[in-house]
Amino acid sequence: MYNSKISGLGYYVPDNIVTNNDLSKIMDTTDEWIQERTGIKERRWIDPKTDDTTSTMAVKASKIAIERSGLKKNDIDFIIFATLSPDMYFPGGGVRVQDMLEMPTIGALDVRNQCSGFVYALSVADQFIKTGMYKNILVIGSENHSGGLDKSTRGRGVTVIFGDGAGAAVLSRCEQKGKGILSSHLYSEGKHARELMMDGPHTGRWIPEILKENDPNDESYYPYMNGPFVFKHAVTRFSEAIVDGLEANNLKSENIDVLIPHQANLRIAQFIQRKFKLSDDKVYNNIMNYGNTTAASIIIALTEAWEKGKIKENDLVVLAAFGAGFTWGSVIIRW
């Protein structure tokens, strides 16, 4: 069995900055209201006049990650792409990246686990490498939320939270014991699926029904979230996933050097930080600048933390996520 390690990191976010004050001009909200509930000050939304899409942003992040890994694009054996917002209903974004990067005819797998998407994708890549099937895997999280949000007062509870962006990591074979990904831990609880979802369109209410109804007030095509319910479950499941990961490796919370939580809500991250008694320098948050970028959030934050020198050789890095499904999980890494 081999180990896998992250050999390259990259991220890309659109240039278009949307502040809380900008949102207050199109819906009944304020900067104070948004910051108090989420910690978010601004987010990036794709400018429709640019070429940014879920896949093109992924390509831009991937080019950076591959270059930093010291590899060439033809050294990549496989692509795993996590997103809830592909460019089209099908096919998925993985094959789009393969084409845009002009890569060989390698496999491409899409992961649809929303906010937990990158954690799930990384765990799948880790297993492929550990078993010897692949040597270098491109793991991507990318999201275009802004095109599908209800930008009215009706939708403000969800819309103010989400931003666009992409991140990528190259996961490579490592034969050094005790380095790289030590373990990953994945969970789900589908009975709560309707507490955080986007119901339409779906095959139970498909094209003929949609065209016939033609209802401009239909809310099912916008994301729905039961905020207090999700918050309550998130803080519990975040903690459980982190504890399980630490215990599996005979570690304790005081061994954590850097925690990168999914950037869902700053209040959730702060709750987890207090629970594990971690100092500010051991938790990296950037939701205030980018909002919640779902599958992209952890990889964008991880890349930023690494770029700023907050992650060093031999550090114990913990990634943890919770989101729609419900799904959640953690990855324990020795850098």
User: Which residues are catalytic, by number?
Assistant: 115, 262, 292
Which are the contacts of 140, defined by CB distance < 8 A and separation ≥ 6?
58, 61, 62, 79, 80, 81, 82, 83, 93, 94, 97, 121, 166, 167, 168, 299
CB 72 within 8 A of CB 132: no
**Residue 82 and residue 170 in one domain:** yes
pLDDT of residue 227: 83
Under the banding of pLDDT at 50, 70 and 90, the label for residue 122 is very high
Geometric angle at alpha carbon 21, from 18 and 22, rounded to 5°: 45
Strands (E), the chain: 3-12, 17-19, 42-44, 78-82, 107-111, 136-143, 165-174, 180-188, 196-197, 224-225, 258-261, 316-323, 327-334
Query: What is the pLDDT confidence band of residue 197, given thresholds at 50, 70 and 90?
Result: confident
Question: Would you report the helix, strand and coil content of the chain in percent, each value rounded to 5?
Answer: 40, 25, 35
Q: Choose one of 136, 152, 174: the last residue of a domain.
A: 174
pLDDT, tens only, 132-185: 999 999 999 999 999 999 999 999 999 999 999 999 999 999 988 889 999 999
What mean pLDDT is predicted for residues 274-294? Answer: 97
Tell me, what's the pLDDT at 42? 98
Residue 218 — pLDDT band, cuts 50, 70, 90? Answer: confident
Antiparallel, parallel or unpaired: β 3-12 and 42-44:
unpaired
Is pLDDT at 207 greater than 90 in this prediction?
no
Judgement on whether residues 229 and 117 belong to the same structural domain of the protein? no
CA–CA separation, 107 and 78 (whole Å): 5
Q: Which of 30-34, 209-213, 326-330 has the lowest mean pLDDT?
A: 209-213
Do 168 and 195 belong to one domain? no
> Rounded to an integer, what distance in angstroms lies between the CA atom of residue 56 and that of residue 14?
11
Q: Give the C-alpha separation, 101 to 60, whole Å.
A: 10
Q: Is residue 135 packed enough to be buried (19+ CB in 10 Å), middle (13-18) or exposed (0-12)? A: middle
CB 260 within 8 A of CB 297: no
State percent of the chain over pLDDT 70. Answer: 99
Q: pLDDT for 84-96, tens place per residue?
A: 999 998 899 999 9
Neighbours of 105 (CB within 10 A): 6
**Do 273 and 148 belong together in one domain?**
no
pTM of the model as a whole: 0.94
* Of 151, 174, 197, the domain-final residue: 174
CB environment 201-239: b (16+ within 10 A), e (fewer) = eeeeeeeeebeeeeeeeeeeebbbbeeeebbebbbebbb
- For residue 262, how far is the Cα from the chain centroid? 7
Which pLDDT band, with edges at 50, 70 and 90, does 285 fall under? very high
pLDDT of residue 222: 79
| CATH number of the domain to which 320 belongs | 3.40.47.10
User: 238: domain range?
Assistant: 180-334
Number of structural domains (the chain) is 2
Q: Is the peptide bond before 86 cis (omega within 30 degrees of 0)?
A: no
**C-alpha–C-alpha distance, residues 47 and 144, integer Å:** 11
pLDDT in tens, 53-80: 999 999 999 999 999 999 999 999 999 9
Both 73 and 91 in a single domain? yes
Q: What is the pLDDT of residue 63?
A: 98
Domain end: 174, 205, 230, which one?
174
